[in-house]
Amino acid sequence: MNKTLQDQQKKLPKTPGVYFFLDKKKTIIYIGKASVLRTRTAAYFRDDLDLKTAQLMKNARDIKYVKSQTALEAMFLEARLIKKHQPQYNIKQKDDKSNTYLIITNEEIPRIEITRPTALHNFKIKESFGPFQSKKELEQALRILRKIFPYHSEKNFKKPCFHFQIGLCPGPCAGAISKKDYLKNIRNLSTIFKGGKKRIINRLEKRMRILSKNKNYEKAAVLRDTIAALNNHRDIQISQKDSINWKVVSDIPKRLEAYDISNISGKFATGSMVVFNFGRPDKTEYRKFKIKTLDKPNDTAMLKEVLKRRFNNAWERPSVIFIDGGLAQIRAASEVLRSLNLRIPLISVAKGAYRKGFRVFKSHKNLNVNAELLKEASQEAHRFAINYHRNLRDKNFLAF
């Protein structure tokens, strides 16, 4: 063990940042990021290193660092520095196919996309950023930034998209934002990806002062809130293995249960329950229900039956219940939970008239569930219910 190197490591600050290992020629051989520099780099001095890391430490002679305000900023800095320096051990430990790139598309209404190198040719690219070592951390970072500078991510512009209805798309798909203002959001995101958050804050503060001086207090308040969000956003979490720590991500519930009802004129009515643990579908936990108490269409009554039967079983309790439906469905679910003396957050998404747009209903004002997770859960619950409904008609499956 290199005692001098370990002594250097013990003096690193307890802040987010990027660290560098250098060899005897002062060449950077590895770059990593950390939520806490001293804590993260201490892991390299254990006795149980894997072969690749042990080889890295055998060649390392010096350790340097650059502090950042947040782990999120450290992640973007790490990607830029890896691209610039191409350290040999970053390349060895991550083949090119496993890396992830962030792109801004070259379209009239640019989109933000995450993709693998092998799929870059599928896009018209205006700007690209990467490689990033963890796709999950990049997705987490975008969830944070999208709340500050919303952007569009769907190719379809014919109707308001799902993300617009829940406040994560500013609405170029719905005519709710001008192209000029939308492009400002994209430029701000690009600046953040390049490490220019401080420049954005300075620019917004200057603009806010001008608006206040001109007594345009409403617009000044919007900029004030944006600045506060940039300064105080929830940070990403970097684990010791440089992967997302799902347990601390507030908008990814530990266990999300999603429900859907499927019937035609009340016949062969079915209900489905799908489960997402820390944002990932767990098909071993899926359950299907054949409606037993009704033979006429009544989605809310059927939902009540499904929930009552679900909670008669000793299955793991959900962190959040997600329902496909509107206010009537969430009220029906709330009634069932109250009757069982259960306090579980509820969220539902109702499609608008003629299937255009969405409305979100929550049992708790501050309930925040990731939009992509809700979209996937909704589709999965519907798919599972429809498949069971079809199978029942063919009399091939038994119900719970």
Per-residue pLDDT reduced to its tens digit, 51-96: 888 899 999 999 999 999 888 899 999 999 998 898 988 875 554 4
pLDDT score, position 176: 85
Tell me where in the chain the CATH 3.30.420.340 domain(s) lie. Answer: 255-393
User: Which tokens in the block code for residue 374?
Assistant: 């809700």
DSSP classification of residue 234: P
End-to-end CA gap in the chain? 60
Is 250 in contact with 234 (CB distance < 8 Å)?
yes
Which residues in the chain are classed under CATH 3.40.1440.10?
3-93
The answer to whether 120 touches 103, Cβ cutoff 8 Å, is yes
pLDDT at 384: 87
CB 147 within 8 A of CB 251: no
Per the model's pLDDT, the better-predicted residue between 321 and 158 turns out to be 321
Rounded to the nearest integer, the mean pLDDT of the chain is: 83
Residue 310 has pLDDT above 90, yes or no: yes
Which residues, including other chains, have CB under 8 Å from residue 120's CB and lie 6 or more apart? 101, 103, 128
Distance in angstroms (rounded) separating the CA atoms of residues 300 and 253: 25
Structure tokens at 277: 């643990």
**Over residues 239-260, mean pLDDT:** 59
Q: Could you tell me the fold of the domain covering 255-393? A: Nucleotidyltransferase; domain 5 (3.30.420)
For residue 30 the two structure tokens come to 């590895």
Q: Is the pLDDT of residue 12 over 50?
A: yes
Q: Report pLDDT for 241.
A: 44
3-93, what's its fold?
GIY-YIG endonuclease (3.40.1440)
Q: Quick one: tokens of 144?
A: 């944070």
Classify 97 as helix, strand or coil: helix
- Closest by Cα among 230, 237, 224 to 145: 230
Q: Indicate if the pLDDT at residue 244 is higher than 50.
A: no
pLDDT digits (tens, 9 = 90+) for 176-223: 888 999 999 999 999 999 988 889 999 889 989 998 888 888 888 888
* 361 phi, psi to nearest 5 deg: -120, 140
Residue 18 has pLDDT above 80, yes or no: yes
Which pLDDT tens digit goes with each residue over 343-369? 899 998 876 543 445 678 888 877 878
Least confident of 3-17, 97-111, 270-284, 362-376: 362-376
DSSP-assigned letter for residue 368: -
Output the CA angle 377-185-358, nearest 5 degrees.
30
Contacts for 312 with CB less than 8 Å, ≥ 6 apart: none
In DSSP notation, 49-68 reads --HHHHHHHHH--EEEEEE-
Alpha-carbon gap, residue 148 to 136, rounded angstroms: 19
**pLDDT score of 292 more than 90:** no
As a whole-number percent, the residues of the chain with pLDDT over 70 amount to: 86
CA distance 311 to 68: 47
In the chain, where does DSSP find H-type helix? 3-10, 37-42, 51-59, 71-85, 88-93, 135-148, 162-165, 179-193, 197-213, 217-232, 299-310, 327-339, 371-393
